[in-house]
A = this chain, B = another copy of it.
Amino acid sequence: MHLSRYFLPVLRETPSDAEIVSHKLMLRAGMVRQSAAGIYSWLPLGLKVLRKIEAIVREEQNRAGAVEVLMPTIQSADLWRESGRYDAYGKEMLRIKDRHNRDVLYGPTAEEVITTIFRDSVRSYKDLPKNLYNIQWKFRDEVRPRFGVMRGREFLMKDAYSFDLTKDAAREAYRRMFVSYLRTFARMGLRAVPMRADTGPIGGDLSHEFIILAETGESQVFCHKDLIEGEIPASDTDFRGDLTPIFDRWTSLYAATSEEHDAERFAREVPADKQVSARGIEVGHIFYFGTKYSEPMGARVQGPDGQQVTLEMGSYGIGVSRLVGAIIEASHDEAGIVWPVPVAPFEVAVVNLKAGDADTDKAALDVKARLEAAGIDVLLDDTDERAGAKFATMDLIGIPYQVIVGPKGVKAGEIEVKERKTGTRDTLPLEAGLERTITRILDQRVLV
């Protein structure tokens, strides 16, 4: 992509209405613009990150055997009356009357919709187990939306729903998502710790939140230090096999959100030098809730003995749009965002120091073409800004590597390669510089 043809409205000054660093940086880097309170438009740079996160979530859901569907944003209130949640759900539900005065709503979650689809389509235990997920916009009418996309009203969520014949099978489904989530967040460069959590309005009796630690976190969390460096399950993990050992290893150490925290147990079970008490950001939440929806909604299948069995269910959320902010909270410095390669909007910025100079233009286009031929995602700064402003923008928007092409280097057959994370800058012969950049990016693309 040529920057001159792109749409990247960066801001030199920090917007005064943004409270936390990710919100400030997303506005400054031209990633989002607020269109209404808690409602954002995603500009090209932000959308690219959102899509990369979405793709990782999708790949890991598929790997774990979940199948993708897409449910609508607008749901019928009657479905929520069937489950008994319509009146119980508070003011966060955006309630709407359509032109025929029928009650509809903007889905904050989709247990009712998916349970209906499943009930009307599946008759036999032979079609189980199933886990259906979707990545769709949701709406929660927060009383005071804030923190940018971290607590917006309209947000992108991955929500999966498992259907099983027995409690044991449902717990297996739960473990599959648990293990899948460990991989999902690690692939984005995040260390998310699963913590026992309250089930809240979703219901049920087993629940974990996946929390990343960050100073600006919204809630207090407590865990054993070893969990922060716990071993991430490999990509060839057999999701059709027994995942109990992995699940047990990750749940044997103390970890709890403040609602579930037991100070006495924490003190007793965790050695003092391993006690972590920190602020956390929730990026995923999984629930096993048995027959809470299937029972009132009549979702049953025929079991092996011919009897009707009420389905055992769970649901599994990931805050996809929230993750964009969460990754920035976890990875930034004074100059701006520091994207991990797997979610970077572009992997390399080629900075042309003298746009309009025929030789430099040619060299910069050549570097871009060489990198793209290696499958690298490149942004070419071909504008006539001054060098300092160009470097500042590329630092701000967090591109992992900058390859700097200037008239002096072109004459000498050299390029300068800057690594965003460390700030190191090296002048190298063209071939060596390209090779090193390509190798480093490919190495960092797959983190687990």
A-side interface residues toward B, CB under 8 Å? 5-7, 9, 30, 33, 35-37, 39-44, 47, 50, 65, 67-76, 79, 91-92, 94, 96, 98-99, 102, 104, 106, 113, 116-117, 120-122, 130, 132, 137, 139, 141, 143, 153-154
A91-B99, A96-B96 in contact; A44/B71 too (CB < 8 A)? no
Alpha-carbon distance A122/B139, docked complex (angstroms): 30
Question: Which of A7, A44, A79 has the most chain B CB within a 10 Å cutoff?
Answer: A7
Beyond known contacts A35-B72, A74-B94: 15 more, CB 8 A cutoff: A7-B69, A7-B121, A33-B120, A35-B116, A35-B117, A36-B74, A36-B104, A43-B117, A44-B69, A50-B70, A72-B154, A74-B154, A91-B99, A92-B99, A94-B96
Q: List residues of chain B with CB within 8 A of the CB of A116.
A: 35
How far, in angstroms, from A84 to B113 measured CA to CA in the complex? Answer: 37
Instruction: Please name 11 pairs of A and B residues whose Cβ atoms are closer than 8 Å in the assembled complex, sorted by A.
Output: A7-B130, A33-B117, A35-B72, A36-B75, A39-B74, A42-B71, A43-B117, A44-B69, A47-B70, A94-B96, A94-B99
Give A155's nearest chain B residue, CB to CB. B72
Known contacts A74-B36, A75-B35, A113 near B41 by CB under 8 Å: yes
Task: Give the docked Cα–Cα distance between A65 and B70 (Å).
Answer: 29
Q: How far is the CB of A93 from chain B (nearest CB, A)?
A: 9
In the assembled complex, the Cα of A56 lies from the Cα of B132 at a distance in Å of 25
Shortest Cβ gap from A29 to chain B (Å): 13
Chain B hits for A122, CB < 8 A: 9
Contact B33 A47 (CB under 8 A): no
| A35 contact set on B, CB distance < 8 A | 71-72, 75-76, 79, 113, 116-117
**Contact residues of A: prevailing secondary structure:** mixed
Contact B67 A7 (CB under 8 A): yes
A40, B72: Cβ atoms closer than 8 Å: yes
- Please tell me if the beta carbons of B69 and A47 are within 8 angstroms of each other in the complex: yes
Task: Name the one of B41, B67, B70, B73 contacting A71, with C-beta atoms under 8 angstroms.
Answer: B41
Q: Which residue of B lies closest to A141 (CB)?
A: B99
Residues of B within 8 A of A70 (CB): 41-42, 47, 50
Contact A41 B154 (CB under 8 A): no
Chain B neighbourhood of A69, CB < 8 A: 7, 41-44, 47
Report A348 CB to chain B, min CB distance, Å: 19
Q: Is the CB of B39 within 8 A of A67?
A: no
User: Which residues does chain B contribute within 8 Å of A68, judged by CB atoms?
Assistant: 44, 47
Task: Give Cα A99 to B47, complex, Å.
Answer: 28
A99 touching B143, Cβ below 8 Å: yes
Please give, as numbers and ranges, the residues of chain B lying within 8 Å of A143 by CB-CB distance.
99
* Structural contact, B154 and A73, CB atoms closer than 8 A: yes
- Alpha-carbon gap, A36 to B40, bound state (A): 27
A69, B45: Cα distance in complex, Å = 8
A72 vs B6: C-alpha distance in the bound complex, in angstroms? 20
Question: What B residues does A92 contact at CB under 8 A?
Answer: 99
In the complex, how many angstroms separate the beta carbon of A269 from the nearest chain B beta carbon?
40
Chain B residue numbers with a CB within 8 Å of A154 are 72-74
| Closest Cβ–Cβ distance, residue A126 to chain B (whole Å) | 9
Once bound together, how far apart are the Cα atoms of A351 and B119, in whole Å?
28
Chain B hits for A9, CB < 8 A = 121-122
**Contact for A98 among B65, B73, B141, CB less than 8 A:** B141
By a CB distance below 8 angstroms, the chain B residues around A76 are 35-36, 39
A120 — nearest CB in chain B belongs to which residue?
B33
Chain B residues with Cβ under 8 A from A67's Cβ? Answer: 5-7, 44
In the complex, chain B residues whose CB is within 8 Å of the CB of A33? 117, 120-121
**Closest 7 A-B residue pairs measured CB to CB?**
A9-B121, A36-B76, A42-B70, A39-B72, A41-B71, A99-B141, A91-B99
Q: Inside 8 A of A75's CB, which chain B residues have their CB?
A: 35-36, 39
Contact A74 B42 (CB under 8 A): no
Contact A74 B117 (CB under 8 A): no
Q: Closest Cβ of chain B: how far from A106's Cβ, in Å?
A: 7
Interfacial chain B residues near A47, Cβ < 8 Å: 68-70
- In the assembled complex, which residues on chain B have CB atoms less than 8 Å from the CB atom of A43? 69, 117
Which one, B42, B132, B137, contacts A73 given CB within 8 A?
Answer: B137
Min Cβ gap A330→B in Å is: 23
